[in-house]
Structure 1
Amino acid sequence: MRDTYQEQLDELASGLAGMCDDVAAAMNRATRSLLDADLQLAEQVISEDVRIDGVRATAEHRAFGLLALQAPVATDLRVVVAAIHGAGDIERMGDLALHVAQAARRRHPQSVLPDEVKPYFTEMGRVGVALAEKAGRVIRSRDLEAATELEVDDDEMDDLHQHMFTVLMDRNWTHGVSAAVDVALLARFYERYADHAVAVARRIVYVVTGQMPGPLAV
């Protein structure tokens, strides 16, 4: 019985880590679709979002089942509670990748992004994917040092997000209001994606230490 219970806990964590890998792949494809006006990649992200939603539902079902049938305590209880909240964070990351892909599809065959901002979105995509992949590794390893590193890693995304406003407010911006709105919204999607990855890592800190770090700066 105990072995089965532990296997269920391990499967719960493994499912969440796999979700991180899935949303990392989704954001990678969404970014490429955005930069290259690639409709096929955008459609792939959009169609696969349903599967990510399904994985969240499965994770929550497993977590509530463990609460109801096993009455976990101490670290095990923290694992289950963190999984319930973490599944929501990771699903939201998938939704944000979906929003990026939808923007690429909406403007196709034109590019959403003016050429001058594409290098910034290349970097935002790289940082976002790296954060999601690292969150997956943190779930698997429960490595406190790596978990706390994610907040520092997120600073790069915050800097890129802030810089986009400098670009948009520059008097040399010649692409009009519609393009500026698209760019501002897309930058926000990436920034929120990174914040959710950090939130996942913070829940691992809670699992290991029993203490939730202070609130994220917004």
Structure 2
Amino acid sequence: MKIGILQTGPVPEDLVEAHGHYPDMFVRMLAPFGFDFQTWAVLDGEFPDTIHEADGWLITGSRFGVYEDHAFLPPLRDMIRDIFDASIPLVGICFGHQIIAQALGGHVEKYTGGWSVGPKRYTFPDGDKVIHAYHQDQVITPPEGAQTIASNDFCAHAGLYYPGKAFSVQPHPEFNDAYERALLETRGPGVVPDERLDEAGAALGTPLDSADIAAMIARFFRERTIE
């Protein structure tokens, strides 16, 4: 099965050598499941010729906001709607989670509660899972027909399931502790409040359930269900 990765943001240049680009992180995360991968850097205007160039699609995270004015966003929203209408399985992470919701009629904004960073606990239907977070924007109102399947006190719609069509999560199962630490230390200061950076740094090393989310993603790609 071929998974098309739609890259919507860059890893900070000084972190690429140690951690790779975002598509590299997803390839590593999903490697145990035997998929083939191809990446399109949509942030640079590189789009597939048709939505049928892959058997499933994954939209990465990004430092951009889905409500900002970037040339790649309108065609990406159109592509999302086309994929959804064609019932080709679609997965979104962080920015990907947000733009799928926005493209289908939901509302995303910069959350008044500020930033969520570091390992965070989310309630899923099969129990609580700890996954790395790094975001301020979030889905405030999901689209019609979307089911909220993950949440916590900070992020009410941290996971959305569109039965048989799409699955998305706000946190980052593709982030390991080393990359999260690098973001906290190099990109957090002066942007994320010091108290939250300190809390996140102290929580690094908490056992993560990212492998559970990877398995959910793989199951959705193959079976169109997360159960």
TM-score in terms of structure 1 length:
0.29
Report which structure shows greater RCO (CA 8 Å, sep ≥6): 1
Higher strand share: 2
